[in-house]
Structure 1
Amino acid sequence: MKLGTIRLNGTPTVIARVEGNIAVAVDMPDMEALIISGNEGLEKANNAINAARAGTAATIDVSAADWMAPNPRASKILGCAVNNKNLNQHAFKPMKSPMFFTKGRSALTGHNKPIVLLERHGRCIPEPEPVAVFGKLAKDVPQEKILDHIFGWTMTNDVTASGIKFGEDSIALNMDPKFTAPHHFAWREKFGDQDNYVYFVYHARSKAADTFASMGPWITTKDEVPNPNNLAIRGYVDGDMYCEDSTANYFFPVERVLHEANIWFTMEPGDCVHCGTASKGTPNHPKGNIGTFLSQYKNTEVEIESLGRLLNTIEQR
């Protein structure tokens, strides 16, 4: 089952896909209410689909719908950084565990909506990723049971503004050795005894700016995604494929990512976790996503097996 949120006559409305671009409204206050209600909400959605097919419920053509993110009120959006073997081959030391950054729900935008790039963002790259949507409260759930707490899957274009990340949100402090400890340098190569630089990078503006969490158009319920660790992912700019990858190429499997998240954060129904970027390039774009600069294009798309396709236009200000 595929579920989404659109503005219908200006009002946020939960919908279920009947077939193709045809959907039907579901009588729920919002997507989070549907998720929290569990089987009751799914049954309401299924009944609405059946009514539409029987001709007893009005259908909606969503080909030109005013899309919102599937759950526009998520309390938390987490991203898992650098979770791709193609990127980690360049690491000085392998990561010990998944690394996270956060986005606020103000970063959310929907299918067919613009991704807004400010001049100060500098170079911005796309990151096509699947997103796990939690269906039940999860805290310290073991890895082998964490998928039981997932409601479904959607996808995101996790835009990253490397220009502002390195131009304004990074700083290297040459610290007096009396203020440093071994953990400050264990993760990186140290160039001699005089190299006492401690590096700080802050990701709020580079990862969580408005529209930098494009998501949707649908949440696909988990019964239709039997193995999230083997999903084909493709990214496009102006219709040209710049990356073709798979979740099988993740450094940490999806279950490890979600388990690690619920150690540090209480995951609530409707919360979203980006599981890792696709990165592997194509003949036309050998550098993949890290060499694809959104300002050079008019639109960008994410396509993930079983989940569908997410399109956004590029707007520069």
Structure 2
Amino acid sequence: MKLVRYGRPGKEKPGLIDNEGKLRDLSGVIADIGPDTLSAKSLAKLAKLKHASLPPVRGTPRFGVPVAQVSKFVCIGLNYSDHAAEAGMPLPKEPIIFMKAVSCLSGANDPVMLPKGSVKTDWEVELGVVIGTMARHVSEKDALNHVAGYCVVNDVSEREFQLERGGTWDKGKGCDTFGPVGPWLVTRDEVPNPQRLGMWLDLNGERAQTGSTRTMVFPVAKIISYASRFMTLMPGDIIATGTPPGVGMGMKPPRFLKPGDEMRLGIDGLGEQRQPVVPFKL
């Protein structure tokens, strides 16, 4: 299934994309798509519905973050060897974990706002993993059983804040609008192998990133198992698993986002995002 939350910010309704690509309303069945609806049992009930009988949604509404009540937005750094090389950083021996503030979450096609004082805002297409059942000290063998589904994430990053202002990476990662997620959550049954997904990002119509989850340093199962040693992963938590090469800071000369730019990005089977870049505004 492809599950969505559609409508104005803060007023999103649950929905799904049927086999013909049409948006159907789920608000008569569930109140929202969140922690209580992401278990295998709950998702199985939704899958058994006759999707053609659900009310169609007219027009082209906005898609919000496909999961409500996200408690943690966990990220993995330098998880592609060629991206580590372009960043001039050594390949990690263990997964690098950092956090994005949940206040940065935004819809797949919402504008990305440059933060006040930004000079080096960058892009990163990433595979997002949505946790479906609590994971605490889980094995790699069992890790994927805790996944509800997968989605596209743009890990927007302000590099000066991240790398040149001292402290941890987090301050360059959690600015408002820096976490576009979606357009939909694709349930685990439709992604039999998360390590075989092509991914790409275009800036102003020109290809910037091309990659595949095949080349991850640490695969999804390893990431979930590893992270679950240090924090309890809860239903609805999102893990962004790293980006392939082609980010702005790795270009020669470096290239960063400016107002008027447009990013378009996608992952095989998980849909596409499109974000205009806008200046800072309170």
The answer, yes or no, to whether TM exceeds 0.5 is: yes
CA apart distance, 1:97: 0.6
| 2:259 maps to 1:303 | no
CA distance in 2, matches of 1:66, 1:6: 6
CA distance in 1, matches of 2:127, 2:259: 24
1:49-64 mapped onto 2 (5 Å cutoff)? 49-51=51-53, 57-61=54-58, 64=60
CA apart distance, 1:269: 0.7
CA contact (8 A) 2:4 2:185 kept: yes
The 10-residue stretch of structure 1 (37-46 or 123-132) with the greater mean CA deviation from structure 2: 37-46
| 2:108 maps to 1:145 | no
Question: 1:153/1:9 Cα in 2 relative to 1: closer, same or farther (>3 Å)?
Answer: closer
Question: 1:252/1:33 Cα in 2 relative to 1: closer, same or farther (>3 Å)?
Answer: closer
Counterpart in the other structure of 1:175: none
CA distance in 2, matches of 1:104, 1:72: 15
CA apart distance, 1:84: 0.8
> What's the C-alpha RMSD, in Å, of the aligned pairs?
2.5
CA contact (8 A) 2:38 2:148 kept: no
CA apart distance, 1:103: 1.7
CA contact (8 A) 2:249 2:255 kept: no
Q: Which runs of no fewer than 5 residues in structure 1 stay unpaired?
A: 52-56, 171-200
1:249-260 mapped onto 2 (5 Å cutoff)? 249-260=215-226
Q: Which string of whole-angstrom CA distances, capped at 9 and with x for unpartnered residues, describes residues 95-151 of structure 1?
A: 221011112221100022111102412211100001110111100000111001101
CA distance in 1, matches of 2:36, 2:2: 13
CA distance in 2, matches of 1:290, 1:129: 23
Question: 1:30/1:240 Cα in 2 relative to 1: closer, same or farther (>3 Å)?
Answer: same
Counterpart in the other structure of 1:13: 13
CA contact (8 A) 1:125 1:289 kept: no
Counterpart in the other structure of 1:29: 31
Counterpart in the other structure of 1:278: 244
Counterpart in the other structure of 1:239: 205
What amino acid maps onto 1:85 in structure 2?
S
Counterpart in the other structure of 2:69: 73
Counterpart in the other structure of 2:45: 43
Counterpart in the other structure of 1:224: 190
Question: 1:93/1:45 Cα in 2 relative to 1: closer, same or farther (>3 Å)?
Answer: closer
Identity, % of aligned positions: 24
Q: Which runs of no fewer than 5 residues in structure 2 stay unpaired?
A: none
CA distance in 1, matches of 2:75, 2:66: 17
The 10-residue stretch of structure 1 (148-157 or 203-212) with the greater mean CA deviation from structure 2: 203-212
Q: Which string of whole-angstrom CA distances, capped at 9 and with x for unpartnered residues, describes residues 39-87 of structure 1?
A: 2344235415131xxxxx320146x312211113211110001111103
CA distance in 2, matches of 1:270, 1:36: 7
CA contact (8 A) 1:17 1:24 kept: yes
TM-score, structure 2 normalization:
0.89
What amino acid maps onto 1:110 in structure 2?
G
Q: Which string of whole-angstrom CA distances, capped at 9 and with x for unpartnered residues, describes residues 172-216 of structure 1?
A: xxxxxxxxxxxxxxxxxxxxxxxxxxxxx3223200111111100
Counterpart in the other structure of 2:113: 116
CA distance in 1, matches of 2:113, 2:185: 24
| 2:154 maps to 1:157 | yes
Question: 1:28/1:48 Cα in 2 relative to 1: closer, same or farther (>3 Å)?
Answer: farther
Give 1 or 2 for the bigger CA radius of gyration: 1
- Aligned to 1:151, the other structure's residue is in SS state strand
Question: 1:93/1:214 Cα in 2 relative to 1: closer, same or farther (>3 Å)?
Answer: closer
CA distance in 1, matches of 2:39, 2:94: 33
| 2:231 maps to 1:265 | yes
More helix by share: 1
CA contact (8 A) 2:115 2:176 kept: no
The 10-residue stretch of structure 1 (156-165 or 93-102) with the greater mean CA deviation from structure 2: 93-102
CA contact (8 A) 2:134 2:233 kept: yes
CA distance in 2, matches of 1:142, 1:204: 27
Q: Which string of whole-angstrom CA distances, capped at 9 and with x for unpartnered residues, describes residues 153-179 of structure 1?
A: 011100110122244x21xxxxxxxxx
CA apart distance, 1:313: 1.3
CA contact (8 A) 1:22 1:61 kept: no
Aligned length: 277
What amino acid maps onto 1:270 in structure 2?
G
Equivalent in 125, 136, 148 of residue 128 of structure 1: 125
